[in-house]
Structure 1
Amino acid sequence: MSWVSQEKQAANWAIGFLDEVWWSRFALPRTRAWQTSDDPVHLVEQTWQKADSDAKALACYGVLWQRGPAQAPIRDQMSLRFVDGRPVSDITTQFLASCCTELERLGKTAWLLIWDNAPWHSSKIVRTWIREQNQKVKSKGQGVRILPLFLPKQSPWLNPIEPKWVHGKRAVVEPNGLLSAKQLAERICAYYHCSYEAHLSLPAKVS
């Protein structure tokens, strides 16, 4: 393969680190081991229990995209989708499909997907979906292939998206109040410069 064709192939590839996180609607936990009855966080949680129908926290899928040379990678772009409920295999495939659609729009043909060994990453449902996605791309000659790469078990520090989550949580928290689920999602998307899209959810069962 010539240098020119290698450069062209590299330009058509995407590298993305995928992970999930829970976003709390409450202030970050206090560092002390107890709370007084007039503590703002304690009072906010009492209010939530009495009059709030939103869940305490939002689950969210995210991908940190990498570009530039391997010696000096640039990782400043994120893709996010919130979840109604919690991450499961069937929602994971929805998120992968939405990412592939966007990557294809950008002219990419393959995605090096780097993630951990969560059950909803390595399940039979997800592995089958990825295999069928790659077969479809090969047969049609269009679309985005996925090449999954699993990080070592219990090694979250190897995923560069983890610090992004930490900084984001510090930036969007409301210290003395309670954010609605929509307010929290909008703050998160604004912080990461992402558009706020419809939440992923499992399809309703047909009776």
Structure 2
Amino acid sequence: MLLRFVDGRPVSQVTEDFLGWACGVFAGEGKKVFVLVWDNAAWHVSKRVRRWIETHNRRVPRTKRGCRIRVCGLPVKAQWLNPIEPKWMHGKRAIVEPDRKLTADEVKDRVCSHFGCAPTEPLKQHVT
């Protein structure tokens, strides 16, 4: 599992940054295509993100670098079809602290530990 946190809101620019990072990781592993299953969150289905994916997918064969993205969108209000949802549910239960609210750093540490992911720098929302 690849996991990144975000400083700021998950807007289209952050989604593009995440996809670029994920493509770099997968290409480094020799993958040619990665299948992206996601819901209809505004930052997933925005015109900007769709255009970024189209441009990226056209560039990969020309440059022979990177991996293509195959988007599989989920139907609206069908979260049970998303294979990540049960993982999130179990993850939330595993990291919760019943006696107090956790700090952002504690949440990040516990989530990374639970899912076995190396901590990475959060993606930053660039406000223009």
What amino acid sits opposite 1:136 in the alignment? R
Q: Runs of 4 or more off by more than 6 Å in structure 1? A: none
| CA apart distance, 1:164 | 0.6
Q: CA deviation at 1:152?
A: 1.2
Q: Match of 1:197?
A: 120
Give the TM-score normalised by the residue count of structure 1. 0.59
8 Å Cα contact 2:17/2:123 also seen in 1 = yes
Structure ID, larger Rg? 1
Q: Which of residues 146, 165, 190 is equivalent to 2:69?
A: 146
- The answer for the alignment partner of 1:117 in structure 2 is 40
Kindly state the Cα deviation for residue 187 of structure 1 after the two structures are TM-superposed. Answer: 0.6
Q: How does 1:27-176 map to 2 (within 5 A)?
A: 78-176=1-99
State the secondary structure of the residue aligned to 2:18. Answer: helix
Contact kept, 8 Å, 1:91 with 1:202, in 2: the verdict is yes
Instruction: Choose between structure 1 and 2: higher strand proportion.
Output: 1
Tell me how far apart the structure 1 counterparts of residues 104 and 74 of structure 2 sit (CA, whole Å): 31
Conservation of the 8 A alpha-carbon contact between 1:109 and 1:142: no
Partner AA of 1:140 in structure 2: T
CA distance in 2, matches of 1:174, 1:189: 16
AA aligned to 1:108 is K
Identity fraction in percent: 47
CA distance in structure 1 between the partners assigned to 2:83 and 2:127 by the alignment: 35
Paired with 1:198 and 1:164, the residues of 2 have a C-alpha distance of 22
**Structure with the larger RCO, 1 or 2 (CA within 8 Å, 6+ apart):** 2
| Number of aligned residue pairs | 128
Structure 1 residue runs without a partner (length 5+):
1-77
CA distance in 2, matches of 1:185, 1:121: 22
What CA distance in whole angstroms lies between the structure 2 residues aligned with 1:160 and 1:149?
12
The Cα shift of 1:128 comes to: 0.8
